[in-house]
Amino acid sequence: MANGILVVDDAAFMRMMIKDVLSKNGYEILGEAENGQKAIEKYKELNPDLVIMDITMPEVDGIQAVKEIKKIDGNAKIIMCSAMGQQAMVIESIQAGARDFIVKPFQADRVVEAVKKVIG
């Protein structure tokens, strides 16, 4: 069975790239969101196996969204995306409950490796 993934990034281009990489590797994209608030709503609606989430977004950032999603589902599996130089935010997101992180601009194999590590 394909694993359902929710892709969250405020940049449509980044969502498209992530979805493309994952689809080519046999993963199912359940949905996408452009900010943390929408990510929380979509998580409740779709109950994905995994969320790939940007840290820096308008309205509700990725770290806050991780905390909210973890309140809804303590077993939620989340991988964060961050640009170079956001190490403090990456650490904060891991402490909030994220399982792994991918640095942008990312390599396709690193995205797949992180997903396999987190959901098998």
How many H helices and E strands in the chain?
Answer: 5, 5
Q: What is the pLDDT of residues 5-61, one digit of tens each?
A: 999 999 999 999 999 999 999 999 999 999 999 999 999 999 999 999 999 998 999
Range of the structural domain that residue 31 is part of: 4-119
Sign for the CA dihedral angle at 83, 10, 63, 46 comes to negative
**CATH classification of the domain holding 16:** 3.40.50.2300
**Whole-number pLDDT of residue 2:** 55
Average of per-residue pLDDT across 107-111 = 92
C-beta atoms surrounding 71 within 10 Å:
11
Domain count, the chain: 1
CB 33 within 8 A of CB 39: yes
Query: What distance in Å separates the CA atoms of residue 18 and residue 79, rounded to the nearest whole number?
Result: 12
